Amino acid sequence: MTDADTPRRPRRRGIYLLPNFITTLALFFGFYAVVAAQSLAFETAAIAIFVAMVMDGLDGRVARMTNTQSDFGVQYDSIADMVSFGVAPALVIYLWALADLAELGGPWDKLGWLGAFIFAACAGLRLARFNTQAGVADKRYFQGLPSPAAAATLAGMVWAGDRLEFGGWPVGIPALVITVLAGILMVSNVRYYSFKEIDFRYRVPFMAMVLGVLAVALASVHPPTVLFVLALTYMVSGPVLTILRRRRRRRRHHGAT
């Protein structure tokens, strides 16, 4: 019996349910964030983006744990990320503060939506570059600010500002700066630590548990502000670490000469 006579097994059709369902949940909460923002429920919109982040973190882990990775899942996850961490935070920050820049007159009426568009476009470029470099990139670092971290910065700012009753064009100016800066950092070559090397199965010193308890207690004081500060700190950490690395290289170079 030759190979030509051997009957071929039919290709299995369909998709894996569990990881793609979790990805759909991430897409749902990203879409819901836009709907909530249009109803001026900005706190709900910001929380929805954070929930989408949790779902986005779960789908990949579930796929690896259940051995249900697929090319379809990778592409679907990127589409969901574009909505949840690109379009949704851009529209939420626009409706919360950037739209009010039109009150200043002149070019400010266009700067608001242009800033939101820059963020959304950079998120799309960031996701496309990430997919093309997935097999060759150093897993210890992200090249450019990850789109979920950028979305967390905007969502944290909206959530904290809404809780503290900030808003309007005075907040729109710093919001515009942070929005555009987050977009530029997403497509930059600045490296960010990925935390993928942390293994929670190993033992840690007792003080690490004490610090964890203190961190939870601190976060409970005002969760929106704490989340915003953490996200903003991570966003700034990339450029700061890059500057420090360059200074170390210069010192080594001068020391060698």
Asked, for residue 5, whether it belongs to a domain, the answer is no
Q: 104, 169 in Cβ contact below 8 A?
A: yes
* Residue 180, burial from CB neighbour count under 10 angstroms (0-12, 13-18, 19+): middle
* Residue 98, burial from CB neighbour count under 10 angstroms (0-12, 13-18, 19+): buried
| Nearest-angstrom CA–CA distance, 45 and 34 | 7
| Residue 231: per-residue pLDDT | 94
| Residue 1: per-residue pLDDT | 47
Torsion of CA 217, 219, 220, 225, to 10 degrees: 150
- 165: nearest Cα among 96, 93, 98: 96
Asked, for residue 4, whether it belongs to a domain, the answer is no
Asked, for residue 1, whether it belongs to a domain, the answer is no
Asked, for residue 129, whether it belongs to a domain, the answer is yes
Cα–Cα separations (whole angstroms), residue 19 to 42, 64, 79, 257: 29, 9, 14, 55
- pLDDT tens-digit profile, the chain (257 residues): 455 555 555 455 667 778 889 999 999 999 999 999 999 999 999 999 999 999 998 988 888 888 888 888 888 999 999 999 999 999 999 999 999 998 888 888 899 999 999 999 999 999 999 888 766 666 778 889 999 999 999 999 999 999 988 877 889 999 999 999 999 999 999 999 887 666 656 666 777 678 778 878 877 888 899 999 999 999 999 999 888 888 888 877 766 66
Asked, for residue 12, whether it belongs to a domain, the answer is no
Paired tokens of 6 = 């051997």
Asked, for residue 3, whether it belongs to a domain, the answer is no
Expressed as residue numbers, the domain containing 34 is 17-196+204-256
Asked, for residue 7, whether it belongs to a domain, the answer is no
CA 111 to the chain's CA centroid: 23
- Residues recorded for the chain: 257
Q: Is 55 helix (H, G, I), strand (E, B) or coil?
A: helix
CATH code: domain of residue 215: 1.20.120.1760
**How many domains would you assign to the chain?**
1
